[in-house]
Structures are given as structure tokens and as C-alpha cells.
Amino acid sequence: MSHGMTFLHSHSGLERDLKFPKHTVLIDARFVHEFNKFGIKTTPFKYNGIEYYKVNILAFAKAGGVFKNLSA
């Protein structure tokens, strides 16, 4: 979890550990509306009881997301 981060960020450490494809980032569930309101496809993903969403990396960058090396 992102422990108090209030800005859009990825969980690069978790993505790396789980061997996600490079074109996909994980975001916290609380930010999914930022993508859904524009019709951008998101996919729910749960790990260790925490809900994340998979988002295309280009959409994430266009939304102003910050890449963080966060793990679960």
C-alpha cells in the first residue's frame, strides 16, 4: 500500500516482483476513477488482500502519474 501518498503513483516494485509486462502499471483503487471517467480501460487486480488496478503505462503517464518503486 502507498501509506499516505495522495497523488497518482505506480507500484513498480510489485510490478517487477510479479513480472508484469512493461506496458502495464498498478495503481491504487482510489485512483481508478481518474481513468474510468475518460473511458480508459482498467482491470481490477488483488494482491495480499489489497485492491489495485492495472492500467496502460501510456495512459498513466498522460494522467501525470509518478513512478514509485513501491512493493505490496
- pLDDT in tens for each of the 72 residues of the chain? 456 778 999 999 999 999 999 999 999 999 999 999 999 999 999 999 999 999 999 999 999 999 887 676
- Note the pLDDT of residue 2: 58
β 24-28/42-47 pair status: unpaired
**Distance (Å, rounded) from C-alpha 55 to C-alpha 15?**
12
- Note the pLDDT of residue 67: 87
Please, is 4 exposed, middle or buried when counting C-beta atoms within 10 Å of its C-beta (0-12, 13-18, 19+)? exposed
Asked whether residue 32 is assigned to any structural domain, the reply reads yes
Asked whether residue 72 is assigned to any structural domain, the reply reads no
Domain count, the chain: 1
- Note the pLDDT of residue 72: 63
Asked whether residue 21 is assigned to any structural domain, the reply reads yes
What domain range is 44 assigned to? 12-62
Beta bridge partners of 46: 51
Asked whether residue 34 is assigned to any structural domain, the reply reads yes
**Distance (Å, rounded) from C-alpha 9 to C-alpha 27?**
6
